[in-house]
Structure 1
Amino acid sequence: MSQTASKLYISQTRELYHCHIKIKIPMEYGEELLEDCFALLEVIDKTYNSYQEGSYFHNINAEAGNWVNTDQPTIEMISLSKKISEIMHGTYDITSMPLIRLWGFYQENNTAIPEAEDIRKTLAQVDYEKIKIHENKVKIEANQEIITGSFIKSYAVDCVVEKLKAAGVTDAIINAGGITIYALNDESHPQWHVNIPHYSDNKETLSRIALSNSCFSLSARKSNYIEIDGKQYGHILNAKTGLPSANLQVGVLSPTTFIGDMLSTALFAHTANAFAINASNLRHHFDFQAYLIDENAHFQHLDFNLFES
């Protein structure tokens, strides 16, 4: 329990979605609401996470080549991901799981970069346009596999935000692993402040920003990478080249975590020289601010300047 501006809060932290998720609310709402929020996170994990056996996305993958009955949230998640993929010309693609496996992100002691021919063959399995939707049914090609990592945690956080609002909560913060953070505010607590980690130094903070009824989403190489011959290769891959993105960090401010998480991944996946045009194209469809730090630690931004005084 902590106190901010003479206001008492309670919080809980649990490990879900491969990270620690902390929910903090005013004490008056009680521990039962926190328990209900984490129960909701667990239900969403079991229902939609591609890593969870029996989930809709797991079933789509297990039945690749066949139509699978799903539900409306699954259709909406896939449809939005396909829209972003189209805007990004396929560099962001939720069917990239075969590439991720090829690069060894789920293997221990990976010591070799994939051969160019293996990358070329695997790229043939990656194509968001081959995800077919008919009413509430979904079908992918027989050799395809969807990964929900770029959006399922953030979708769950948005659901918790809606639950808190329905319970009358107007002041709370949800921190999912330090890379997806939503702040709910009212006049009694006009802003929350969060630290943005440095792109390379674990002991340093890059900046500190204020959040108010919005989300900060972070994609960063140092949060998940493999090391081969002394060089780091990040887990976010460019689905057109089959290669790990060389960027260091992308941050997005957005009204919802679901949009922010996908946009930060999509902008990270593409080359840095296309950041301005890609961000501008995405802005035609989504409300957000963003910055990018490329492999040379050069900074670009769309209305989001980390270094303003």
Structure 2
Amino acid sequence: MSDNPTCLNIRDGIPDWITIREAVRLLNGLNGCKIRKSDFYRFALQGKILFSIYFQSPVILRKIKSQNHKLKLRPIKSSSTMKSFTLAESSFVSENNLTFSTEGRYIHPVQRVIDTTLLGYEYVLIQRLLAHSLKIPSPVTGAKSNNYGITVCLLGETFQLFEKMTWHERIERHVKRLPKNISSDDYEDIILNATKKDSHKYYFPMHELPSDACFVLRKSELDKLINKPIEKEILQPSPTRISTPLSRLFWLACKNNETISPLIMQPYKLLSIFEQWASEEGITDRFSGDTLKAALERGSPPSIPTQK
């Protein structure tokens, strides 16, 4: 991913979209404030601003199925060897054979800038950019323990990124990333099958952004930062919206669950368990350790405080 700035002349007006680096310079020049690239990444991860992706080259999209406003997942039914070329490396190693369930035609959008609500692995890509900007270690797995692919939002629907290539091309790209437990016999079978199918091209999900794509900010999102006091409107944390009775029920459910009861006083360690359960049920929502901690603190008896 790249994030190279272009020359931005404020007197000529703000373009429809700008890079994150341009946004930093523009806001600091207009408001006299000290905002950094890391602040934008935090705002995006917190859902306070919406990022878009600038695709310099053509991309292929397919609509992701949803149910009750949740993105649906489906298992991949094929040999473990062939799964390795469809799944991301992290999912294959963890033996998670789920992927986004898509439907309809594969489309080639004419738009070069497409919004993303960070429902897919692009959330982790933003986490990496945040870590890099703060000069801290990059996330090992990130908030998404399984990489189901890159998602974008178009006309109110969520789509997944795909690429079209032959099996031989796909194998050449991924063979170096295969786990060591795949034998040489498996490689021979793969090459043989690829040779037979080499003249045909297939659609494969993308698990990373194209190398010439980058995150950008639309003018409408930038206006949110220009027109609102950043310290009061943007940096202020969102309130936790959960009632005391629900907090009590939540605490009781956790307390009487054999799996999570030992960790009830360590809510941040519980987060990964809830994320795993959500993944198994096809729920792709992001969970917050702060929200979990606040709910347990509010629902617990006064004499049993939670810990970090």
The structure that is helix-richer by fraction is 2
TM-score higher than 0.5: no
The structure that is strand-richer by fraction is 1
Higher RCO, Cα 8 Å, sep 6+: 2
Which has the higher Rg, Structure 1 or Structure 2?
A: 2
TM-score (norm 2): 0.24
